[in-house]
Amino acid sequence: GAGVSQSPSNKVTEKGKDVELRCDPISGHTALYWYRQSLGQGLEFLIYFQGNSAPDKSGLPSDRFSAERTGGSVSTLTIQRTQQEDSAVYLCASSPTSGGGYNEQFFGPGTRLTVL
Amino acid sequence: KQEVTQIPAALSVPEGENLVLNCSFTDSAIYNLQWFRQDPGKGLTSLLLIQSSQREQTSGRLNASLDKSSGRSTLYIAASQPGDSATYLCAVLPYGNNRLAFGKGNQVVVIP
């Protein structure tokens, strides 16, 4: 069956440009998460969507980062005026529900962003 | 704030040896703990999920234990193979939270 998909797989951009990263969660999963994995760092949480509830944006590192989820399915993470420190692998995950011991998160292959 | 530590950061073992990977976390108030595998340039593959009420989970050659009170989990891989070479990540889901807290991983190389 189809897992979480992300596009593009790689993105190289120039400092100051805006980028959009896309995530298609597993069909039927109500919860969607964005994480970032920087070189030498662990994975850090960015943002979380659950159904029609207001997203948890508390992990976004600056106001240059935003995300939306349309129709409870596809999500787009937007980074405006990219900086070199934004270079990282951006991972999306989805789960059938949120919270609780049964919440297993399934990850996509990631988008590797390089800001020159 | 929940902190997750994985030691050692990197290890090499000869093929056929058993692998033991350790994960510790500072706050025992968790819903569950997940072990993931990450191959170079790839995303995360979920290996095992242990709910807070469970002590261990098994899948094939993999066994993961959870001692919530002491804040520890161990991933055990029996009879390692070169295809087991990867980075293994431990993550916990804290109570009242929807975000996984990750360790930095154990980078494993199995030598043929």
| Nearest alpha carbon to residue B73 among B18, B112, B36 | B36
Is B48 in the A-facing interface, judged by CB distances under 8 Å? Answer: no
Question: What 8-state DSSP symbol labels residue A72?
Answer: T
The alpha carbon of residue B63 is apart from the nearest alpha carbon of chain A, in Å, by 17
Q: How far apart are CA B23 and CA B72, in angstroms?
A: 6
Is B46 in the A-facing interface, judged by CB distances under 8 Å? Answer: yes
First to last CA, chain A: 37
| Degrees to nearest 5, angle at CA B93 with B92 and B98 | 145
The verdict on a CB contact (< 8 Å) between B98 and A50 is: yes
| Residue B71, φ and ψ in degrees, nearest 5 | 70, 45
What integer pLDDT is reported at residue B67 of this predicted model?
96
What integer pLDDT is reported at residue A94 of this predicted model?
93
Comparing alpha-carbon positions, the chain A residue that sits nearest to B88 is A42
SS3 B84: helix
Contact call for residues B85 and B56 (beta carbons, < 8 A)? no
Name which of A26, A105, A111, A114 to mutate to probe chain B: the one with the most chain B Cβ atoms within 10 A of its Cβ: A105
Q: Examine the pLDDT at A1 and tell me if it is beyond 60.
A: no
Of A6, A48, A104, which has the smallest distance from its Cβ to B98's Cβ? A48
Name which of A7, A37, A43 to mutate to probe chain B: the one with the most chain B Cβ atoms within 10 A of its Cβ: A43
- The mean predicted confidence, pLDDT, of chain B is 94
Contact call for residues B99 and A59 (beta carbons, < 8 A)? yes
Q: How far apart are CA A45 and CA A92, in angstroms?
A: 10
The verdict on a CB contact (< 8 Å) between A101 and B32 is: yes
What integer pLDDT is reported at residue B102 of this predicted model?
95
Identity of the amino acid at A91: L
Q: Examine the pLDDT at A81 and tell me if it is beyond 90.
A: yes
Q: Examine the pLDDT at B83 and tell me if it is beyond 70.
A: yes
The DSSP H or E segment spanning A66 is strand A65-69
